[in-house]
Structure 1
Amino acid sequence: MEIHASAGGLDSNPSSSTGSICYGVPLHVVTDRGRTVNSRLTTFLNLDFTVAKTRNIGIIAHIDAGKTTTTERMLHYAGVTRKIGDVDDGDTVMDFLAAERERGITINSAAITFGWQGHRINLIDTPGHVDFTIEVERSVRVLDGAVTILDGVAGVEAQTQTVWHQADRYNVPRIAFVNKMDRMGAAFGRTVREIRSKLGARPLVVQIPGPMDESSTGMSSVADLVTMELLQWDESSKGSTIQRTPLTEGPIYEEAVRGRTALVESLAELDENIVEIFFDEADGDHMQVSAQDIKKSIRRVTIQGTAVPVLCGAAFKNIGVQPVMDAVVDYLPSPLDRPNAIATLNNGTKSEIALKESGKLVALAFKVSHDPRRGALVFVRVYSGKLNDRSTIFNTTTNTKERVNRLLQMYAKDVEEIPFISAGNIGVIVGLRDTRTGDTIVQGNDAAAIKSRLQLSRIDIPSPVFFMAIEPASVSEEKPIDEALRKLLREDPSLHVWTDSESGQTLISGMGELHLEIVKDRLLNEFKCKAEMGKMRISYRETCQGEAVVDHMYDKELLGKRVRAACRIALRPLDEEADMEAAMEEGWTKESGCLIQASADEVTDSTEDESQPTASQNNSISEEEIKEAVQTGLQSGLSRGALLSFPLTRLQVRADNIRLFGADTTPGAIAACVSQAVYDAVKQARPALLEPMMEVNIEVTEDQIGSVVGDLSGTRRGHVIGLESAKSDIVQQEIHSAIYAPPDSAMSGGVHHHEHATQKRVIKAHVPLSSMIGYSSALRSLTAGNGTFSMRVIGYGDMSQDRERAVIKEIKGY
């Protein structure tokens, strides 16, 4: 039997039939505004997809695991593209930025919508490089499920663990796809065991690699343990045609029986429903449990987050991609299957946002992108209600009202205009000026939400650790550079820009060397700015070692008008072990590692001229405005320290005793007064520098431990905190007995994939970031190229006085 799914498999169901299935290419294309686009996009938009048949998913993984390669195949088999894009050729749909195509990596998370098996899939392809972790963070914040791609040769890598834990924080259900199984050294069983040992997840093996003899050119088939079929991909059709054959005999059948038995047993431990089916309908026979019942059970445990289905393939060879798309539909949740979103009101109470299209609009802006032709594109996830074109919305985060000019459905860099975005879906708003990443959007006439300042939980923004100076080539270039930086800052909240108070230089900080390199590249090439970039430097932090209480009077004449305000600031160091959650319950606010409190209770009127109306008499400043001004002043004051103007951290700051001077006092005067008072208090409280500290995991062989540890604890000023083997024999035995992982030699017909012959050890250490620059070259020299390492920022550590003086001299030049 042949099924030709030229519309991207919208109505076909290949998993339910046996024979040859062809996932076709679009039948024809049309021209839209001079562009050649797939006619399927227009057809797709006219289809009515219910929320239950919607999947919001992301592709997450370590760099070079094959995320974009897999996504390009998905788009081709779904009928969106005629030709499969190649990362090496620089013609992929998802990596459309010039910098991405030049480097062959994903920098910007790209969104696309397509149909598969009668379902709508909103997919986001995320970067794998640690410098662009904000892209993963804001994507998983709004996703309902994710596909984690693993390299079958490298196994679970460092950044895989990072993105996995990011998804853990938001309880995002996942499926795993072990890619690159066609390569020498690929080991499916070992990778499955690493999912258990390194990620702490319960893997459910639903596919195993098919048989492959020694003369084979590579992987060509996959055995499906759910349907007990052998899936073979036709090379001549670029994987579009799949031949399904029932498994009946041979070594692969025997291994599949063991795998299916283990799959049913694992499900029985996690899902009571399958136990009843096993005894009542299958008479205790693992092979008699129907594929449909197994799929339903896998779906339940996946959505609960108690297990992760594991599939395998080789995306570059066009093998195994369609079953991943089937698994997205079969196992990952729809928006209805996810818990209701939680919003916070201004009185501190929590409110559940039920997913109803007929409900009041509640949406989260999770990404802003700059388009040269269309302007700012704001990506939103609608949690309730319907966002209509040309409507008026209210941003409860910035307290501003805005107009929706147009709504778009994204197809990477291409777009289609749509009339609305319904609950549970992702889309793009054109025309918003003030909305940024993490802002909450409600309807412009929703008085209750506006009054209560209803806000969805924000997106965590990581702290930047590198910075560099930027100098305009001439005075005329200052304005274009300021405008370009403003757009970049709105796009990327992990970027920070500030001005050095002594040198007057504009400094820009980011997550890493590559991050700032991309920023530099975009400023010069995309925004056509003529500027000089300084040397890359580490972004330090500042704190205080003592306490201070400062009373400050702000009294200035601005544009012929006298402005006055006064306040008191109490500042003290914050203990590293301080319970932030308990302090926040007591009314403190967390701000970049500091606790701040803006008290508007102790407000007094100090008007000298009694005939002049006071602030309270003319109602020019409300209590809410005073509190917001104090909060703004505290945030501004903590953004620059007294030593090198780096942001402050580890401080507890309270502003009180606010004094007003009638009409002379404005919210701006209060904010400026508080900011200057914080600066004065910091200068009195023994300011000190802190440097970024990294948690470093280095994997080396046993004979290389001594030289690596000596280098870390010596010249690199590191502190070794532990030494572990990959896993102890006892733990490995427990892992092996708890989960099913096929022997890697069983699949290759005699071509054995051995584990590393030499036992490797993992050195865990805390090391200053300044000592880790250029470490990859040093580690190669120390380990003859065998060592690997990963690192992440864990906080900021104290410096010695000698080191502090050296840093100040290096940056200031004196």
Structure 2
Amino acid sequence: MLPRFFSCTGRSMPLRLASRKVSVALHCCRKTALQYQSYSTTTGTAAFSIPKTRNIGIIAHIDAGKTTTSERMLFYAGVTKRIGDIDDGDTVMDYLQAERERGITINSAAITFAWANHRINLIDTPGHVDFTMEVERAVRVLDGAVTILDGVAGVEAQTETVWKQASRYNIPRIAFVNKLDRTGGAFGRTVQEMWKKLQSRPLVVQLPWYHDDNAELPQNASGGRLKAIVDLVEMNLLTWEDRDGMQLTRTAFTSADDKTYYEEAVRGRTALVETLAELDEEIVDVFFEQADGDHMQVPAQAIKDALRRVTLANKAVPVLCGAAFKNIGVQPLLDAVIDYLPSPLDRPDAIATINNNKTQLIPLKESANLCALAFKVTHDPRRGPLVYVKVYSGKLNHRMTLFNTTTKAKERVNKLLQMYAKDVEEIPMVQAGNIGVIVGLKGTRTGDTLVQSNDTKAIKANLQLDNIDIPSPAFFSAIEPHSVSDEQAVEDALVHLTREDPSLKVWTDEESGQRLISGMGELHLEIVKDRLINDFKCKTDMGKMRISYRETCQGSGIAKAEYDKELMGKRARAKCKVELMALDQDSADDDDDHWTMDTGNRLCIQMDGSSFEDDNDNDHHHHTRSSPSGGSTLKKEDIYQAAHTGLLSGLARGAVLGFPLTKLQVKVTDMELFGPDTTTGAISACVAQGVQDAIQQASPCLLEPMMQVHTEVNEHHIGTVVSDLSGTRRGHVLGMESDASTDPSAVDNGTTQIYAPPDSVMVQGDVAGYVPKHVIKAEVPLSSMLGYSSALRSLTGGSGSFSMRVIGYGEMSKDRERVVVNEMKGW
């Protein structure tokens, strides 16, 4: 049953609609699309101003249709001459060999094209949880995003993850419900799940129109049962006559076309205007002054303007529909990108930090000094490192000398490139608000801030844009070159890979001497192995996949450390006291500003009873308690940084198996310096030694990664899967939910109602044979999830699916800890 909607005055409004049909062919030929292609190198910067620029990304769960939709966008925009197909392995956006072999996106690819006299910088992101770093750094520089939803599966687990990533940066979004041509596709149910699972206000602007189930399909029915799309804003019917989707025709939609669908479209438009009136004041004036209180007479342009305002304010999400694989709905989606998603000018000014952790806004002005963020680095065999940058102010010019405020180094721009997936075009400049690629930067990494080398104000202030969060790796494996002569090639390849992907970590085990690499998952490290062998031509093997555990302490410890050594004929001395204890919620909530969080630990450095950070002495030379050698001549910043480095070094290796420590509270006090004998290296070594000694006293123990697991199964497999998760895999089942509900009132949060068309009206029968599934939510140790994909297929006869993500680290039992220690040490 549909919810009732009323006008702002509380009375029903008359329905009037002009019956005259208008047929217009939009984007109907390659010539029109190619006319938009006026953005080539020399004219591009002049042809499209900042208001006509859209920096967008496509985000979704794996296999929702992101790359398929991107390929159609490029085809209709005239960038490609034929539609790339994932099954054929000829897609433009998935150009890596590993991507084409597996049929999934691994590397976020960027491409620039034009549509409707606008420039679109598009980033196609991966949907697999192992490559969440690619999504994170893409979302960091986006102005808007298109979320693709599988109309059959609905809102899936990784969709919730990427949605939260976009919400963290307040990215305006539109949604595209895909795969509505397939059996089980349910538009209304997917809209309800957006409201229920994503906690977003969906605004339905299109409805799918299906052929009658009992009718014989026309020969030219390229979309299967999906006949057309009803545009509720224009009240038009959108039809595609040819199989490649180039010929889009709009006709006015009336009751003569189909009475049932027309009545539903009227309800949909009424709901759209009503919801917009709740969220936007300007359309209320239009509703009464221009439409005489008639929902159907509100001008389409007024609705578009209101949709844009509420989308930019993140109050609601316009929802479109279609079937990208069948070439239905992509052109209206591109139009929606232009109409509803923001230009760089519509976004808040970037926030940068300067000295003393003060913040500063970076206005988007071409006439201002350059400020850019490096958000991605790739390695090209011929060109070397390619650094992707988003310019937030000023202009990035060819041959410009830059200063990296993160690494404190100057670098020279050799070339500027515009990327078209793996193809490039050389350009003379990158303007504010745009994305480009720099060739020639040797030391710049993901998250670094770039300014002009002569911008002394920014350099002195140490201006840095907000960095990009890098997730902690959960798996690791040993890397063994075939011979000594192969070691250097492997090492060079690892340098390139870790620079490309900051979520990869490479280190050497001190006990075994093995070279280890850690990543986000099994597939992540499998791709690394493929790239080492196929792309970098390295002769190497990778060992057994292992879990990257963490360590902590259950008790507390206090250690007094003294460092006194002679290095190359020079004495180095320092003393300190280290207090260490388990981090509990009470201490974590302490508002003392002298504590800082780093690598999951709470750290503090004190000297002579007062916090070192709180010392307001303007003298750059900090003297400690007197010593026979006289006062220290080290700068205050150097002493603090040395102590901080020592803390991180001491916490980097635990006492049980050498894994990094977390969930600890560590304080350095009673630091004693010895004049010229005290160096920054001595301070760091002394603090690190004190941390290690305190750890030995504080009952060290192992922590294992805990995963949030969502398993989707049919009803008759629930018992088997729950038993496996809670028994064999040592998991804790949190609950279960079903996606069988199709009643919009079931997702009514408080007094708010949303419009979601009943799928029984859109599709004849039981939602095209859709069989509801149940989602089992559980928390399971990562070590128990190895090989779960094969096990789930066996348990459910191939019908089950699952997704998981790291949610933190949990303590393991003593018995389990002994097993892990024996396994890791080879006993």
Q: Same fold (TM over 0.5)?
A: yes
Judged with a 3 Å threshold, the aligned counterparts in structure 2 of structure 1 residues 401 and 197 are, in CA distance, closer, same or farther, namely same
Q: 1:753 aligns with which of 764, 767, 773?
A: 767
Aligned to 1:636: 649
**Greater alpha carbon shift after TM alignment, 42-51 vs 637-646:** 42-51
**Greater alpha carbon shift after TM alignment, 783-792 vs 264-273:** 783-792
Cα deviations across residues 451-491 of structure 1 (Å, max 9, x unaligned)?
Answer: 22222222111111111111122222222222211111111
Aligned to 1:196: 195
**Greater alpha carbon shift after TM alignment, 598-607 vs 684-693:** 598-607
Q: 1:691 aligns with which of 704, 707, 712?
A: 704
Q: Is the 8 A contact 2:192 2:747 kept in 1?
A: no
- Residue 242 (structure 2) pairs with residue 239 (structure 1): no
Q: What one-letter code is carried by the residue in structure 1 that aligns with 2:25? A: S
**SS in structure 2 at match of 1:746:** helix
Measured after TM superposition, the shift of residue 587 of structure 1 is: 2.6
Matches of 1:228 and 1:289 in 2, distance apart?
A: 11
Judged with a 3 Å threshold, the aligned counterparts in structure 2 of structure 1 residues 770 and 708 are, in CA distance, closer, same or farther, namely same
Measured after TM superposition, the shift of residue 232 of structure 1 is: 1.3
Measured after TM superposition, the shift of residue 327 of structure 1 is: 0.3
| Structure 2 unmatched ranges of 5 or more | 1-20, 613-621
Matches of 2:330 and 2:771 in 1, distance apart?
A: 32
Q: Is the 8 A contact 1:69 1:316 kept in 2?
A: yes
Cα deviations across residues 630-680 of structure 1 (Å, max 9, x unaligned)?
Answer: 222222222221221111111112234444444444333433333333223
Measured after TM superposition, the shift of residue 282 of structure 1 is: 0.5
- Residue 353 (structure 2) pairs with residue 353 (structure 1): no
Structure with greater contact order relative to length (CA < 8 Å, sep ≥ 6): 2
**Greater alpha carbon shift after TM alignment, 643-652 vs 346-355:** 346-355
Matches of 1:538 and 1:211 in 2, distance apart?
A: 49
Aligned to 1:11: none
Cα deviations across residues 189-220 of structure 1 (Å, max 9, x unaligned)?
Answer: 11111111111111111111134243224134
Aligned to 1:89: 88
Aligned to 1:810: 823
Aligned to 1:8: none
**SS in structure 1 at match of 2:175:** strand
Q: Is the 8 A contact 1:202 1:739 kept in 2?
A: yes
Q: Is the 8 A contact 1:604 1:657 kept in 2?
A: no
Aligned to 1:145: 144
Q: Is the 8 A contact 2:39 2:119 kept in 1?
A: no
Judged with a 3 Å threshold, the aligned counterparts in structure 2 of structure 1 residues 786 and 528 are, in CA distance, closer, same or farther, namely closer
Judged with a 3 Å threshold, the aligned counterparts in structure 2 of structure 1 residues 18 and 622 are, in CA distance, closer, same or farther, namely farther
- Residue 298 (structure 2) pairs with residue 289 (structure 1): yes
Matches of 1:225 and 1:506 in 2, distance apart?
A: 59
- Pairing of 1:136-535 with structure 2 (within 5 A): 136-213=135-212, 214-216=215-217, 217=221, 218=224, 219-236=226-243, 238-248=244-254, 249=256, 250-251=258-259, 252-535=261-544
Measured after TM superposition, the shift of residue 448 of structure 1 is: 2.6
Aligned to 1:596: 603
Q: Is the 8 A contact 2:38 2:44 kept in 1?
A: no
Matches of 1:22 and 1:405 in 2, distance apart?
A: 39
Q: 2:582 aligns with which of 561, 573, 583?
A: 573
Aligned to 1:118: 117
Matches of 1:247 and 1:761 in 2, distance apart?
A: 38
Q: What one-letter code is carried by the residue in structure 1 that aligns with 2:216? A: S
- Residue 661 (structure 2) pairs with residue 648 (structure 1): yes
Matches of 1:755 and 1:305 in 2, distance apart?
A: 35
Measured after TM superposition, the shift of residue 44 of structure 1 is: 5.7
- Residue 746 (structure 2) pairs with residue 732 (structure 1): yes
Measured after TM superposition, the shift of residue 710 of structure 1 is: 2.8
Matches of 2:623 and 2:734 in 1, distance apart?
A: 50
- Residue 765 (structure 2) pairs with residue 766 (structure 1): no
Measured after TM superposition, the shift of residue 693 of structure 1 is: 0.8
Q: Is the 8 A contact 2:41 2:428 kept in 1?
A: no
Judged with a 3 Å threshold, the aligned counterparts in structure 2 of structure 1 residues 470 and 418 are, in CA distance, closer, same or farther, namely same
Matches of 2:493 and 2:58 in 1, distance apart?
A: 30
Measured after TM superposition, the shift of residue 754 of structure 1 is: 5.0
Q: Is the 8 A contact 1:697 1:789 kept in 2?
A: yes
Q: 1:775 aligns with which of 788, 791, 795?
A: 788
Judged with a 3 Å threshold, the aligned counterparts in structure 2 of structure 1 residues 444 and 194 are, in CA distance, closer, same or farther, namely same
Measured after TM superposition, the shift of residue 349 of structure 1 is: 2.2
Aligned to 1:7: none
- Pairing of 1:537-616 with structure 2 (within 5 A): 537-559=546-568, 561-576=570-585, 578-579=587-588, 586-599=593-606, 601=612, 604=624, 615-616=632-633
Judged with a 3 Å threshold, the aligned counterparts in structure 2 of structure 1 residues 230 and 292 are, in CA distance, closer, same or farther, namely same
**Greater alpha carbon shift after TM alignment, 601-610 vs 395-404:** 601-610
Measured after TM superposition, the shift of residue 757 of structure 1 is: 5.2
**SS in structure 2 at match of 1:688:** strand
Q: Is the 8 A contact 1:26 1:40 kept in 2?
A: no
* TM-score, with length taken from structure 2: 0.89
**Greater alpha carbon shift after TM alignment, 200-209 vs 774-783:** 774-783
Q: Is the 8 A contact 1:603 1:657 kept in 2?
A: no
Q: Is the 8 A contact 2:475 2:519 kept in 1?
A: yes
Measured after TM superposition, the shift of residue 172 of structure 1 is: 0.6
Aligned to 1:743: 758
Cα deviations across residues 728-787 of structure 1 (Å, max 9, x unaligned)?
Answer: 879516379822222324344x465257556x5443322111112222333344444444
Q: What one-letter code is carried by the residue in structure 2 that aligns with 1:229? A: N
**SS in structure 2 at match of 1:239:** coil
Aligned to 2:619: none
**SS in structure 1 at match of 2:748:** helix
Cα deviations across residues 691-717 of structure 1 (Å, max 9, x unaligned)?
Answer: 011122334455544433333222322
Aligned to 1:791: 804
Q: Is the 8 A contact 1:471 1:531 kept in 2?
A: yes
Judged with a 3 Å threshold, the aligned counterparts in structure 2 of structure 1 residues 495 and 170 are, in CA distance, closer, same or farther, namely same
**SS in structure 2 at match of 1:146:** strand
Aligned to 1:127: 126
* TM-score, with length taken from structure 1: 0.90
Q: What one-letter code is carried by the residue in structure 2 that aligns with 1:545? A: Q
Aligned to 2:54: 55
RMSD of aligned alpha carbons: 2.6
Q: How many residues align?
A: 779
**SS in structure 1 at match of 2:656:** coil
Q: Percent identity?
A: 65
Q: Is the 8 A contact 2:38 2:114 kept in 1?
A: no
**SS in structure 1 at match of 2:357:** coil
Q: Is the 8 A contact 1:21 1:241 kept in 2?
A: yes
Matches of 1:727 and 1:575 in 2, distance apart?
A: 41
Cα deviations across residues 563-590 of structure 1 (Å, max 9, x unaligned)?
Answer: 444433222211156536x55x613222
Matches of 1:158 and 1:389 in 2, distance apart?
A: 43
Matches of 1:641 and 1:651 in 2, distance apart?
A: 12
Matches of 1:149 and 1:615 in 2, distance apart?
A: 60
Q: Is the 8 A contact 1:24 1:79 kept in 2?
A: no
**SS in structure 1 at match of 2:339:** helix
Q: What one-letter code is carried by the residue in structure 2 that aligns with 1:624? A: E
**SS in structure 1 at match of 2:237:** strand
Judged with a 3 Å threshold, the aligned counterparts in structure 2 of structure 1 residues 609 and 460 are, in CA distance, closer, same or farther, namely closer
Q: Is the 8 A contact 2:150 2:178 kept in 1?
A: yes
- Residue 112 (structure 2) pairs with residue 98 (structure 1): no
